[in-house]
């Protein structure tokens, strides 16, 4: 069991480009969470998804950010037209059905916007 896999580990984009961050949850986990960590801050909740459904996106910026967790394949966090303020570490976590309060974290994707 490889745990939660995130890729890429590091992503560099120029302002205006798109960033796609991928997260494969622990095998058998049906709940995925995305968090963002800005420099000198704690992790902040962005979105919670189950297969094919967004359950809670209260932490997502209203524009340019979107997330999905399709029936097949990894969860994707997509940031369109990136700006310098999007530079951060993005963490994905997954949890199994029935134990949703225990989350297993990936190693994160560090996004740098030039």
Partner 1 sequence: AQRVTQPEKLLSVFKGAPVELKCNYSYSGSPELFWYVQYSRQRLQLLLRHISRESIKGFTADLNKGETSFHLKKPFAQEEDSAMYYCALSILTGGGNKLTFGTGTQLKVEL
User: Which residues form the interface with partner 1 (CB under 8 A)?
Assistant: 3-4, 31, 33, 35, 40-45, 48, 50, 55-56, 58-59, 91, 93, 95, 100-108
- The least CB distance from residue 3 to partner 1, in Å, is 8
**DSSP string for the chain:** ----EEE-SEEEE-TT--EEEEEEPSTT--EEEEEEE-TTS-EEEEEEEETTEEEE-TTS-SSSEEEE--SSS-EEEEE-S--GGG-EEEEEEEE-TT-TT--EE---EEEEE-
- The least CB distance from residue 49 to partner 1, in Å, is 9
- The least CB distance from residue 17 to partner 1, in Å, is 27
Nearer to partner 1, 28 or 42 (CB): 42
């Amino acid at each position: 069991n490889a745990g939660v896999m995130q890729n890429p580990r590091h992503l560099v984009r120029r302002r205006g480009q798109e960033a796609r961050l991928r997260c494969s949850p622990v095998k058998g986990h049906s709940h995925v969470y995305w968090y963002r960590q800005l420099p000198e801050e704690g992790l902040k909740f962005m979105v919670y998804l189950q297969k094919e459904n967004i359950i809670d996106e209260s932490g997502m910026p209203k524009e340019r950010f979107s997330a999905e967790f399709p029936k097949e394949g990894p969860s994707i966090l997509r940031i369109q037209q990136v700006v310098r303020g999007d530079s951060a570490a993005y963490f994905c976590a997954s949890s199994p059905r029935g134990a949703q309060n225990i989350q297993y974290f990936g190693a994160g994707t560090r996004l740098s916007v030039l």
